[in-house]
Amino acid sequence: MSHRPHTRKAAEPLHEPAAEARNLAHKLGLDPYDVNYWVVDYDEMNELIAYNGFQERYPHWRWGMQYDRQQKQGQYTGGKAFEIVINDDPSHAFLQESNSLADQKAVITHVEAHSDFFAKNKWYGMFADDLDAAAMLARHADRIRGYMADPDIDREAVEQWIDSVLCLEDNIDQHEPFKRQYERAIGDDVDDADADLAERLDEMDLSDEVKRQVFDEEWLDAQEEAPADLDDPEKDVLAFLREHGKAFDAETGKAVEMEEWQTEILEMLRAESYYFAAQKVTKVMNEGWAAYWESMMMGEEAFAGDDEFVQYADHQARVLNSPGLNPYKLGKELWEYVENTENRREVVRKLLRVDGITWRNFHDTVDFDRVQDLLAADPALDSITAETVGDLESVDSKKVDTEALEAAKQGDIDVDRYPWKVLTYEGLAERHFSLCKPQNRGFLRSISQTKLEQYARYLMDDARYDSVEAALADVDYAAGWDRMREIRESHNDVTFLDSFLTPEFVTDNRYFTYEFSQTTGDYRVASTDYEDVKKKLMLQFTNFGKPTVAVYDGNYNNRNELLLGHHYNGVMLDIQQAKGTLERVFDLWGRPVNLKTIVKEVDDRDAEIARRRDREPDPEEVGKLLRYDGDEFTMEDLAWSEVEEIAATEVDYDTKPDEWLA
């Protein structure tokens, strides 16, 4: 970023909030990467957004498109771009100069939580051990710019090649750790993609004997011309094309080996796809995580000063209440649900160990108001001011940061401003125990018999406590937060939604699914059922919300043709787009390409009958083979037995009610 005095000045008031937000995040149990904050102006912000947060990307019109859209959008939102934070170690976050201090603080707290997510979520960890994304992308930019400037390479050809690869950017195996091309080939850990295989082997300094035995000529040849004999379909289509694809030479009409720049670009863009995949598969979780902790720090811990709070509330409302299915809101609510259920589990399990309380009599025996009172945080923790700070002496030392308390008493810590400084993680957990918040007061009571029984089943020591008081004194207030951190480590959006989206959530938010009606020619509400809504939601998150297409054969019909298969899950492909994509796949394969898929067909007679009955026609699922030979498309019917392997048996994402059908 260029050095400019006026943004330096703008950055000045942000030093303290940035440092303190980090301290607070640590206190709350987060463990973010270091974050470098940059203050930028509105135009720079738009530029960064266009480049997905980075300062350097390879030349491509899509960045221009994003910039254009960003600018147009800015006209509606009044030029408020809130934050960009990039997944890197250290993370980089960009703050817009013109934001108010309250907005900046909100962004900073939000960013710290994102950075924690980047550092701790395992899907991010799969890309690389030592992350330096900015450098990687800048390197790619340099390389590609170099190819474009190379007089021996046609610039247009480079651009077209990039386009072709980008059409398949989501066709990777995002659930597998990213492996560089050579690693895939030789299953080893070398780290330079540039040299070819034989060279790499030399550099590995293997003994000649090993080379002779393991990596012999035959093996090398096999790597070059690997018979694409796939036991399992290859989801990483880009990798397969990189290994076995060819370029097409329009002049001779023949497939030719890819040029070096072609394989390099393919590999670089594939790496970028893997890098960005983690963000794509955790959008709800990650945004929800950031929104949750932002709200904790800004709202509950009053990180926004009193005078800034109203502004902050306004900022938050704008983010959370944008229409449609908003990942911030969905994610935040799911996290709160995780927190509440875990805290409830903790409390309930303690209560079930009280002599005389069983899962059967739970609702009749337990005085929930009293439980609520007992759970309430120690007043000394709840309200901390310079006057009352002395009261903390009497509190369990586990909950108090004794060193900080001493400092506070000396006046070295401004307790009124940063009350959290004198507490530990445990103390903060009690101070913010979710079940004590007004909006969650009914949550404990609302537990079902089934859940109670489930919790009771494995409880051996069921009469450990004589009284409710004794039991609740033992409650681990940090249970919810601990659990949340575990989940943020291992889940992605699909598993997260699958595990934590509840019927209550669907009902409370009045979600429904809709489907297209052939008869009326518009979208109609199809179902408000929890299972259906969840299924539809999962469809939008599974595999980036895109259909799964994998390589089934690299030597289809023994003619070196490529066979792709679409995993049909009840929703068919956009055939028009599939054709467009196949044309691009042809560029990367150099020989004819095929796609097996299943489409829904309705014959005119059925459609007419359905229309007369005011019902939906029941379409027939038909196997199809779409083939493109570089010149024209053919589409032929396939027997069901030939497409059985691509048809999903377990899920069908179609939520049309049966009674709609004719």
Contact positions with another protein (CB under 8 A) in 291-320: 318-319
Q: Is 626 exposed, middle or buried (0-12, 13-18, 19+ CB in 10 A)?
A: buried
69 contributes a contact to another protein by CB under 8 A: yes
Kindly identify the residues of this chain, within the stretch 45-64, that bind another protein according to CB under 8 A.
47, 49-53, 56-57, 59-64
Instruction: Give me the least distance between CB of 164 and another protein, in Å please.
Output: 9
33 contributes a contact to another protein by CB under 8 A: no
Cα(524)–Cα(526) distance, rounded to whole angstroms?
Answer: 6
Cβ proximity of 218 and 209 under 8 Å: no
Kindly identify the residues of this chain, within the stretch 597-636, that bind another protein according to CB under 8 A.
600
Of the candidate residues 40, 484, 533, 593, the single one contacting another protein (CB under 8 A): 533
Cβ proximity of 552 and 233 under 8 Å: yes
512 contributes a contact to another protein by CB under 8 A: yes
In SS3 terms, 406-470 reads as HHHHCCCCCCCCCHHHHECHHHHHHHCCHHHCHHHCCCCCCCCHHHHHHHHHCCCCCCCECCHHH
Cβ proximity of 292 and 335 under 8 Å: yes
Contact range with another protein by CB under 8 A, out of 44-52, 295-303, 346-354, 412-420: 44-52
Which phi and psi (to 5°) does residue 84 adopt?
Answer: -130, 135
Cβ proximity of 42 and 79 under 8 Å: yes
536 contributes a contact to another protein by CB under 8 A: yes
Contact code string over 317-346 relative to another protein, x by CB under 8 A: -xx--xxxxxxx-x----------------
Contact code string over 122-141 relative to another protein, x by CB under 8 A: -------------------x
Instruction: Give me the least distance between CB of 484 and another protein, in Å please.
Output: 21
Name the 3-class secondary structure at 277.
helix
Nearer to another protein, 187 or 324 (CB): 324
Of the candidate residues 154, 361, 466, 516, the single one contacting another protein (CB under 8 A): 516
4 contributes a contact to another protein by CB under 8 A: no
65 contributes a contact to another protein by CB under 8 A: yes
Structure tokens at 430: 């009690």
Quickly count: other Cβ atoms within 10 Å of residue 130's Cβ. Answer: 6
Nearer to another protein, 25 or 494 (CB): 494
Of the candidate residues 182, 455, 511, 556, the single one contacting another protein (CB under 8 A): 511
Instruction: Give me the least distance between CB of 290 and another protein, in Å please.
Output: 9
Which phi and psi (to 5°) does residue 599 adopt?
Answer: -120, 160
Sign of CA dihedral 93, 97, 101, 103: negative
Cα(258)–Cα(164) distance, rounded to whole angstroms?
Answer: 14
279 contributes a contact to another protein by CB under 8 A: yes
Of the candidate residues 134, 138, 153, 166, the single one contacting another protein (CB under 8 A): 166
485 contributes a contact to another protein by CB under 8 A: no
Contact range with another protein by CB under 8 A, out of 164-172, 225-233, 332-340, 360-368: 164-172
Nearer to another protein, 77 or 446 (CB): 77
First to last CA, the chain: 63
Name the 3-class secondary structure at 564.
strand
Cα(51)–Cα(56) distance, rounded to whole angstroms?
Answer: 7
90 contributes a contact to another protein by CB under 8 A: no
527 contributes a contact to another protein by CB under 8 A: yes
Contact code string over 552-581 relative to another protein, x by CB under 8 A: --------------x----xxxxx-xxxxx
Which phi and psi (to 5°) does residue 260 adopt?
Answer: -60, -45
108 contributes a contact to another protein by CB under 8 A: no
Kindly identify the residues of this chain, within the stretch 429-468, that bind another protein according to CB under 8 A.
none
36 contributes a contact to another protein by CB under 8 A: no
Q: Is 4 exposed, middle or buried (0-12, 13-18, 19+ CB in 10 A)?
A: middle
Contact range with another protein by CB under 8 A, out of 168-176, 350-358, 392-400, 402-410: 168-176
Cα(209)–Cα(204) distance, rounded to whole angstroms?
Answer: 13
